[in-house]
Amino acid sequence: MLKVIVLCLSLLLLPGPDIQAAENCSLDLKQPVLITSVGQNLDALIISSMLAEMGAETVYLPLAKKEDLYNYKQIIISPGVSYKGLAAAGLKFEDETKRVQELVEAAGEHSCQLILIYLGGFIQGDARSQKLIDLLAPNVDVMVIYQGSGGPIDYFLATAAEKGIPVHFLQHLGNLCEELAPIFSIEVE
């Protein structure tokens, strides 16, 4: 029993992954901010609505293209496939993989800060959502992740540690405005 306790304590005291402290990362919104999803999930619309409610100037473009990035310093992208969303937009999954690659490339060319916000929502093990995340996550400047999302959270953390990407965690989606306010330096009235 003593060996088990010592082992557990040892594991608790081991250093975790080398993830850059998000507190040291400025996320002042350079307004207006472009918000889109890749995979046509509704999370980007929710994020846009919440930030707008908090007084931020947001532009929600569910089908943002690389040409749309010219007018923005920051782009918030929410990854995750919604099959209903893809069908409603008349898109194939391959269209979205091409679009995410173009957005990442254009953001680099125009020095746009890419912010990944992941609220969860897709089925764990969904290969198509994971493909979009694989294309996006290593190329972002900042990640904001709902801690209870499950799914690809281990992948996000490993990628953040490997690439030195700052990570902010959301604790409760029911208080999304209160959770996002300090991350984006917004005062909520």
CA 113, 117, 118 angle in degrees (round to 5)? 150
Residue-wise pLDDT for 18-58, tens only, equals 444 455 455 777 789 999 999 999 999 999 999 999 889 99
> Residue 16: is its pLDDT beyond 80?
no
Q: What local confidence, expressed as pLDDT, does residue 123 receive?
A: 56
Give the whole-angstrom CA distance, residue 136 versus residue 163. 13
Q: pLDDT-based confidence at 69, cuts 50/70/90?
A: very high
Q: What local confidence, expressed as pLDDT, does residue 184 receive?
A: 81
Single pTM value for the model: 0.83
Q: What is the CATH architecture of 30-183?
A: 3-Layer(aba) Sandwich (3.40)
Preceding omega of 79 cis (within 30 degrees of 0)? no
Find the mean pLDDT for residues 93-102.
95
Place of tokens 């040892």: 10
Give the pair of three-digit tokens for residue 40. 């046509």
Q: Where are the domains of the chain?
A: 30-183
